[in-house]
Amino acid sequence: ADIQAGKSKAVTCNACHGNNGISMLPMYPNLAGQKEQYLILQLKAFRDGERKNMLMSPMSTGLSDTDIANLSAYYASLDPAGK
């Protein structure tokens, strides 16, 4: 996976999940340092309609498997404490 490509793609995600992967609002999860494989599974679940959320369902619709791999690698690479 390409962490730099993930970082570029994450601009949209960062609006809620934070520039450092620590989310802006209490109902949104932190993603920094999260397990890469878990992130891949959840993004695919949102995209494919297995997991439903008013924000994440539409946000994930256009993502390719490569986008998902890159985004997941990027967030997994961030410091879990947000530093």
Among 8, 29, 49, 61, binds its own copies (CB under 8 A): 29
- Find the distance separating the first CA and the last CA of the chain, reported in whole Å: 23
Is 44 a binding residue for its own copies by CB under 8 A? The answer is: no
* Minimum distance from residue 19 beta carbon to its own copies (Å): 16
**Residue of 32, 39, 35 whose CA lies nearest to 67:** 39
Is 36 a binding residue for its own copies by CB under 8 A? The answer is: yes
Contact residues for 12 (Cβ-Cβ < 8 A; gap 6+): 59
Positions that interact with its own copies (CB under 8 A)? 23, 26-30, 32-38, 41, 50-52, 79-82
